[in-house]
Amino acid sequence: MIKVNENFLRLQAGYLFPEIGRRRRAFAAANPDAKIISMGIGDVTQPLAPAVVEAMKRAVEQMGRPDGVHGYDDGGVGYEFLRRAIAENDFASRGIQIDIDEIFISDGAKCDTGNIQELFGLDNVVAVSDPVYPVYVDTNVMAGRTGGAAGPGRYEGIVYMPCTEENGFVARPPARKVDLIYLCFPNNPTGAVATKDQLTRWVDYARSNRAIILYDAAYEAFISDPEIPHSIYEIEGAKEVAIEFRSFSKTAGFTGVRCAFAVVPGDLKAYKKHGAAVDVRPLWSRRHCTKFNGVSYVTQRGAEAVYSPEGKEQVRRTIQIYMANAALIRETLGSLGYTVYGGVNAPYIWLKTPKGTGSWEFFDLLLNRAHVVCTPGAGFGSAGEGYVRLTAFGQPDSVKQALERFAKL
Ligand SMILES: *Cc1c(COP(=O)(O)O)cnc(C)c1O
């Protein structure tokens, strides 16, 4: 008899986006003339940078010639040309020394943040922010690192760290001991960023508790404040305790192209039961090369072009378009009397619902009265109740139109 992996049966229904879709379709069916605008999507709308398109075309033409064949990329960790470009442009330029052997190219930060937990024992205590990107939690449930449901979207055995107005949506290290800590800055969904001091507290905590920080920096390119760290490795000692995840998805519109990377420093250790230290980097290398065979040559050439002078400029302009949307959303909603967070160093605006309206109640009101779709904060965790997430990834015209409708609410 084939037995199912019962850990999967503990997963609560992936409820948020299906439910949004269901309500949106029901509204559209009842109101066929309404022009619905989505401010809920976490996906890009601007075209790929021309420098990327050109590089990918050149690469595919090269592969069509007898002398340009590229098969498996050696071991699947990524071509050296891309890892060098990353080490120089993302890290050395900020005074961080990352060796190319510490960089692992992949097809997404979702996979990487989901897969990394395989390296760590099932008896580790996992800490996540609330609200949270659901991937961190669900992959730990699948692995069997949690108990059953503990309220909507929550599981026994996970330490949830509420991110609220009071703490500026940045969790402090908990009083209790945890082992595996997921942090995401700039944050999806709240748009919050962590300062150097806040990250230093986390790094110090991890060093003194021999914990590991999994740092998701997928939105690093949206940081505008020069004081805000782009990488956790800007914090002293972080290379001993942190893995960083980056992605070309939001930075360069690669959500449909697929390229990302993880940085696993050579100094990073995990421990055996009786305390003997083990290097983590070779474990990730082994895991990556066993289960993954590399990102396509064409895609890696496209990603490399993001770091060319033209690529940098083009990508910067696209991000400016999104951040101009974000600024407009913030200012307009602020002047209409709403309390809004985020949107300065992140493409997400975290809107406090008026007069304690529930997240879903406000979602329905916005859909019915303004024909605008948002994402209810409660869907990201119980501390998200009383908020909705608006994204700045829309077309500027749609964003303006949506805001005009807000004004008439
Ligand atoms: C979009 C996003 C990513 C990027 O995922 P990819 O798989 O690289 O497209 C990673 N983390 C968070 C929090 C995100 O919102």
Q: How far is the CA of 383 from the centre of ligand 1 (A)?
A: 21
Q: Is 164 touching ligand 1 by the criterion CB < 6 Å?
A: no
Using one digit for the tens of pLDDT, what is the confidence trace for 349-386?
A: 999 999 989 999 999 999 999 999 999 999 999 999 99
Contact 81, 297 (CB under 8 A): no
- Provide the pLDDT confidence category of residue 233 given band limits of 50, 70 and 90: very high
- pLDDT score of 330 more than 80: yes
Q: Could you tell me whether strands 260-263 and 372-373 are parallel, antiparallel, or unpaired per DSSP bridges?
A: unpaired
Q: What is the DSSP letter of 274?
A: T
Q: How far is the CA of 218 from the centre of ligand 1 (A)?
A: 6
Q: How far is the CA of 120 from the centre of ligand 1 (A)?
A: 22
Q: What is the DSSP letter of 71?
A: -
- DSSP per-residue codes, 169-202: T-PPPPSS--SEEEEESS-TTT-----HHHHHHH
* 3-state secondary structure (DSSP) of residue 409: coil
Which of 128, 216, 254, 295 is the pocket-test mutation for ligand 1 (most atoms within 8 Å of CB)? Answer: 216
Q: Is 133 touching ligand 1 by the criterion CB < 6 Å?
A: yes
Mean predicted confidence (pLDDT) in 289-309: 97
Mean predicted confidence (pLDDT) in 111-132: 98
Residue 352 C-beta-side C-alpha neighbours within 13 Å: 13
Backbone angles phi, psi at 220, to 5 degrees: -50, -40
Mean pLDDT of the chain: 96
Q: Give the position, in ligand 1's atom list, of the atom nearest the Cα of 250.
A: 1
What is the structure's pLDDT at 398?
96
Q: Could you tell me whether strands 180-184 and 126-130 are parallel, antiparallel, or unpaired per DSSP bridges?
A: parallel
User: Closest Cα partner for 104 from 94, 96, 114, 112?
Assistant: 112
What is the structure's pLDDT at 155?
96
Q: Is 137 touching ligand 1 by the criterion CB < 6 Å?
A: no
What is the structure's pLDDT at 204?
98
Using one digit for the tens of pLDDT, what is the confidence trace for 166-190?
A: 999 999 999 999 999 999 999 999 9
**Structural domains for the chain:** 6-47+310-407 (3.90.1150.10), 53-309 (3.40.640.10)
d(CA 106, CA 303): 11
Q: How far is the CA of 15 from the centre of ligand 1 (A)?
A: 19
Using one digit for the tens of pLDDT, what is the confidence trace for 71-120?
A: 998 789 999 999 999 999 999 999 999 999 999 999 999 999 999 999 99
Mean predicted confidence (pLDDT) in 232-260: 98
